[in-house]
Amino acid sequence: MSHHVTFKDLPQGGEKFEPAKGGKLIGTLGLFGLLGIAASAYFFFTSTDTFAYSWLFAVFFTFTFVVGGCFWILLHSASNSSWGVAVRRIWENLANMVVPLAIFASPLLLTAVNKPLYEWMGHHRTAAEHAAHADHPTTVKQALHHMAEDNPHLHVLVTKFGYMNLTNGFSWYSRFVAYFLILWFIARTLRGKSLQQEQDGDIKHTIWSRQFSCIVLLPFALIVTFAAYDWLVGLDYNWFSTMWGVYIFAGCAWASMAVSILVVTWLRGLGYLQKVVTDEHYHLMGKLLFAFTVFWAYISFSQYFLIWYANITEETRFYLIRNTEGWRAVSIFILLGHFIVPFLFLLSQKRKKNPVVISLGCLWILFMHLVDIYWNVIPERGPSLGIGVWVAGAWVQDIAALCAVFGTMSWLYLRGLAKYSLYPWRDPRLIESVNVIN
Amino acid sequence: MSTTLKRVHGYLAEFDSVKDLYHAAEHVRDAGYQRWDVHSPFAIHGMDDAMGNPRSKLPMFVFCGGITGTTVAFTLETITQTNFWSHIGLGFLQKIVETYPTVVQGKPTDIWTLPAFFPVMFELTILFSAFTTLFGLLALIGLPRWNHPLFVSKNFSKFSDDGFFVCIEARDPKFSQEGTKSLLEKAGGKNIELVEDEI
Q: Which of B46, B105, B119 shows the shortest C-beta gap to A311?
A: B105
- Domain identity same for B129 and B150: no
In the predicted structure, residue B199 carries a pLDDT above the cut 80: no
Given B141, B156, B187, which residue is the final one in a domain? B141
Q: Taking Cα atoms as reference points, which of A229, A232, A227 lies closest to residue A322? A: A232
* DSSP-assigned letter for residue A97: T
| Residue A161 counted as domain residue | no
| Residue B59 counted as domain residue | no
Given B141, B157, B184, which residue is the final one in a domain? B141
- Mean pLDDT by 10-residue block, N- to C-terminus, for chain A (438 residues)? 74 88 92 95 92 95 96 95 93 95 94 91 89 84 88 88 87 94 96 93 93 96 94 91 93 96 95 91 96 96 91 89 90 95 94 95 97 94 86 90 96 94 91 88
- Give the pLDDT of residue B2: 63
Q: How far is A285 from chain B (nearest CA, A)?
A: 20
Task: Please give the C-alpha separations between residue A260 and each of A285, A414, A438, in angstroms, as whole numbers.
Answer: 9, 12, 19
| Residue B45 counted as domain residue | yes
- Angle, CA of A231, A232 and A235, to the nearest 5°: 95
Q: How far is B159 from chain A (nearest CA, A)?
A: 25
Report yes or no: B183 at the A interface, CB cutoff 8 Å: no
- Give the pLDDT of residue A176: 95
In angstroms, the CA B157 to CA A315 distance is: 65
In angstroms, the CA A20 to CA A418 distance is: 10
In angstroms, the CA B77 to CA B79 distance is: 6
Q: Do A1 and B46 touch (CB under 8 A)?
A: yes
| Residue A293 counted as domain residue | yes
Q: Do A305 and B63 touch (CB under 8 A)?
A: no
Q: Which residues contact A359 (CB under 8 A, 6 or more apart)?
A: A261, A262, A265
Report yes or no: B116 at the A interface, CB cutoff 8 Å: yes
**B55: which chain A residues are within 8 Å (Cβ-Cβ)?**
349
Q: Which of B50, B55, B115 shows the shortest C-beta gap to A305?
A: B115
| Residue B149 counted as domain residue | yes
In angstroms, the CA A343 to CA A292 distance is: 10
Best probe of the B interface among A290, A309, A438, by most B CBs < 10 A, is: A309
In the predicted structure, residue B29 carries a pLDDT above the cut 90: yes
| Residue B80 counted as domain residue | yes
Q: Which residues contact A97 (CB under 8 A, 6 or more apart)?
A: A62, A65, A66, A69, A409, A412, A413, A416
- Domain identity same for B103 and B93: yes
Q: How far is A331 from chain B (nearest CA, A)?
A: 13
Q: Taking Cα atoms as reference points, which of A291, A282, A273 lies closest to residue A438? A: A282
| Residue A153 counted as domain residue | no
**B50: which chain A residues are within 8 Å (Cβ-Cβ)?**
1
- Domain identity same for B165 and B191: yes
Report yes or no: B54 at the A interface, CB cutoff 8 Å: no
**B105: which chain A residues are within 8 Å (Cβ-Cβ)?**
309-311
**A311: which chain B residues are within 8 Å (Cβ-Cβ)?**
105-106
Q: How far is CA A115 from the centre of its chain?
A: 23
Q: Do A301 and B115 touch (CB under 8 A)?
A: yes
In angstroms, the CA B77 to CA B82 distance is: 8
**A304: which chain B residues are within 8 Å (Cβ-Cβ)?**
115
Does residue A94 contact residue A413 with C-beta atoms inside 8 Å?
A: yes
* pTM of the complete model: 0.89
Task: Count the domains in chain B.
Answer: 2
- Domain identity same for B89 and B130: yes
Digit-coded pLDDT (tens) for A240-295? 899 999 999 999 999 999 999 999 999 999 999 998 999 999 999 999 999 999 99
- Give the pLDDT of residue B72: 96
Average pLDDT, chain B: 89
Best probe of the B interface among A287, A301, A340, by most B CBs < 10 A, is: A301
3-state secondary structure of B145: coil
Provide the domain limits for residue A405: 14-118+169-433
Report yes or no: A4 at the B interface, CB cutoff 8 Å: no
| Residue A154 counted as domain residue | no
Q: Do B46 and A301 touch (CB under 8 A)?
A: no
Alpha helices in B82-147 (DSSP H): 84-87, 91-96, 118-141
Handedness of CA B61, B63, B67, B72 (dihedral sign): positive
Provide the domain limits for residue B100: 65-141
Q: How far is A46 from chain B (nearest CA, A)?
A: 42
- Angle, CA of A167, A173 and A178, to the nearest 5°: 125
**B116: which chain A residues are within 8 Å (Cβ-Cβ)?**
309
- Domain identity same for B113 and B173: no
Report yes or no: A301 at the B interface, CB cutoff 8 Å: yes
Task: Count the domains in chain A.
Answer: 1
Q: Which of B45, B55, B106 shows the shortest C-beta gap to A437?
A: B45
- Give the pLDDT of residue A12: 85
| Residue B73 counted as domain residue | yes
- Domain identity same for B168 and B107: no
Report yes or no: A311 at the B interface, CB cutoff 8 Å: yes
Determine which of A5-9, A191-195, B12-16, B51-55 has the lowest per-residue pLDDT on average: A5-9
Does residue B159 contact residue B165 with C-beta atoms inside 8 Å?
A: yes
Q: Which ipTM did the prediction report?
A: 0.80
- Give the pLDDT of residue A1: 44
- Angle, CA of B72, B74 and B78, to the nearest 5°: 120
- Domain identity same for B147 and B174: yes
- Domain identity same for B147 and B126: no
In the predicted structure, residue B43 carries a pLDDT above the cut 80: yes
Q: Do A1 and B116 touch (CB under 8 A)?
A: no
Digit-coded pLDDT (tens) for B57-102? 999 999 999 999 999 999 988 888 888 888 888 888 777 777 777 7
In angstroms, the CA B93 to CA B99 distance is: 10
Does residue A92 contact residue A187 with C-beta atoms inside 8 Å?
A: yes
Q: Do A301 and B118 touch (CB under 8 A)?
A: yes
- Domain identity same for B113 and B70: yes
Q: Taking Cα atoms as reference points, which of A176, A162, A313 lies closest to residue A236? A: A313
